[in-house]
């Protein structure tokens, strides 16, 4: 295995699939010669050339319009929207066209399209460039929603997303891009729709996504020193959702905390809490606790941004409070 940064693992996943399938093409702003504003497409233009790695105008509508058309005519586009906040500029294409074409054509037209985008806070970009918007996509039937928390999953889940016959929104967290981890050499594919249990304890279950996964793991490290053993589950995919794993771990400990960067109102944790309460209520020792960002625009000032985002200290404090410690 090689040590790769998250950003390099993204490029490795794209390159793996471009070598495997000549139909895979890449569209986006500054993804060719500049190799991506977040350096997630380094080396791709050099290896695959300008026919398959194409810079686009600064227009989210143009990017997704071209990508959707390419997908409808036999290609497998990977389209980059620079910041996930800018999905709002092309949401009609995402929610009303890309997500619904297979259904409305009675299966005659598929859209094998991956929309990659930089998501999340922690890098002081302010309210218009720091949102976590996975819940926007989760609410639209016809879209698959993926948000990896580490470099190995960034490569493996992206490869699976590119191979998928339906549209996938792939959220790459900006705060994770520099983090390094061991990534399998050669072909690496992780199946969509499978959560991963990263550590197992008998007292509480922490359910997290993307940048909140390392946050939950740090909280679990602090809690175990106090005699509280926490299970940490990385959701990885919101759609399809691995409810079986989440329910099993919720029932095993009876105490569940969701750790999410989304604003509290209508976050993904609310849906998971609802499923757990409906499906394994009798196994719970207390209601599911949601640890979220408050329902406010994200500030750019470092101390203010840190104060609204879930932190390992806040997660550990919520667990202690629930356990009466």
Confidence of residue 156 (pLDDT cuts 50, 70, 90): very high
pLDDT the model gives residue 46: 98
Give 67-90 pLDDT, tens digit per residue.
999 999 999 999 999 999 999 999
Catalytic positions, please? 60, 129
Tokens describing residue 45:
């233009």
pTM: 0.97
Report helix, strand or coil for 45.
helix
Pairing of strands 144-146, 168-173: parallel
Query: Average pLDDT, stretch 235-264?
Result: 98
pLDDT the model gives residue 148: 98
Q: Which residues of 212-230 are buried (b: 16+ CB within 10 A; e: fewer)?
A: bbbbbbbbbebbeeeebeb
Q: How far is CA 116 from CA 28, 231, 281, 288, 309, in A?
A: 9, 30, 36, 31, 23
Domains observed in the chain = 2-183 (3.40.50.970), 196-323 (3.40.50.920)
Task: Give the sign of the dihedral formed by CA 76, CA 43, CA 29, CA 132.
Answer: positive
Pairing of strands 230-234, 196-199: antiparallel
pLDDT the model gives residue 27: 96
| DSSP H stretches of helix in the chain | 6-20, 44-48, 60-72, 91, 101-104, 134-138, 151-163, 212-224, 243-253, 268-280, 302-308, 312-323
**How many whole angstroms separate alpha carbon 15 and alpha carbon 91?**
28
* Residue 178: DSSP 8-state: T
- Nearest one of 128, 123, 168, 125 to 148, comparing CA atoms: 168
Confidence of residue 45 (pLDDT cuts 50, 70, 90): very high
Confidence of residue 1 (pLDDT cuts 50, 70, 90): confident
pLDDT the model gives residue 183: 97
Tokens describing residue 6:
């998250």
For the chain, what percent of residues have pLDDT higher than 70?
Answer: 100
**How many whole angstroms separate alpha carbon 59 and alpha carbon 65?**
10
Radius of gyration of the chain from its Cα atoms, rounded to whole angstroms: 19
Strand partners, 145: 169, 239
Which element (helix H / strand E) includes 252?
Answer: helix 243-253
pLDDT the model gives residue 4: 97
pLDDT the model gives residue 325: 79
**How many whole angstroms separate alpha carbon 17 and alpha carbon 15?**
5
**How many whole angstroms separate alpha carbon 22 and alpha carbon 20?**
7
Give 159-200 pLDDT, tens digit per residue.
999 999 999 999 999 999 999 999 999 999 999 999 999 999
Q: Are 294 and 263 in contact (CB under 8 A)?
A: yes
């Amino acid at each position: 295995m090689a040590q790769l940064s998250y950003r390099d693992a993204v490029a490795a996943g794209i390159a793996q699939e471009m070598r495997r399938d000549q139909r895979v093409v890449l569209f986006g702003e500054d993804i060719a010669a500049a190799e991506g504003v977040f350096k997630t497409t380094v080396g791709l233009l050099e290896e695959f050339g300008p026919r398959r790695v194409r810079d686009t105008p600064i227009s989210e509508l143009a990017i997704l319009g071209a990508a959707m058309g390419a997908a409808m005519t036999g290609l497998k586009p990977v389209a980059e929207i620079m910041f996930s906040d800018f999905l709002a500029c092309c949401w009609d294409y995402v929610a009303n066209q890309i997500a619904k074409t297979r259904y409305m054509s009675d299966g005659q037209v598929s859209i094998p399209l991956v929309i990659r985008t930089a998501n999340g806070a922690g890098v002081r970009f302010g309210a218009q460039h720091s949102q976590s918007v996975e819940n926007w996509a989760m609410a639209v039937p016809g879209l698959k929603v993926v948000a990896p928390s580490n470099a190995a999953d960034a490569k493996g889940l992206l490869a699976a997303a590119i191979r998928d016959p339906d549209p996938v929104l792939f959220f790459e967290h900006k705060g994770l891009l520099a983090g390094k981890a061991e990534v399998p050499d050669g072909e690496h594919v992780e199946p969509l729709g499978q959560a991963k249990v990263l550590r197992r304890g008998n007292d509480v279950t922490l359910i997290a996504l993307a940048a909140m996964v390392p946050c939950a793991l740090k909280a679990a490290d602090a809690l175990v020193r106090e005699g509280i053993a926490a299970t940490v589950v990385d959701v990885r995919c919101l759609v399809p959702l691995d409810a079986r794993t989440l329910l099993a771990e919720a029932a095993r400990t009876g105490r569940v905390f969701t750790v999410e960067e989304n604003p509290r109102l209508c976050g993904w944790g609310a849906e998971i809490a609802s499923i757990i309460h409906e499906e394994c209520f009798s196994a719970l020792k207390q209601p599911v606790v949601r640890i979220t960002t408050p329902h406010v625009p994200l500030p750019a000032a470092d101390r203010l941004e840190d104060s609204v985002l879930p932190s390992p200290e806040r997660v550990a404090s919520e667990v202690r409070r629930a356990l009466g410690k």
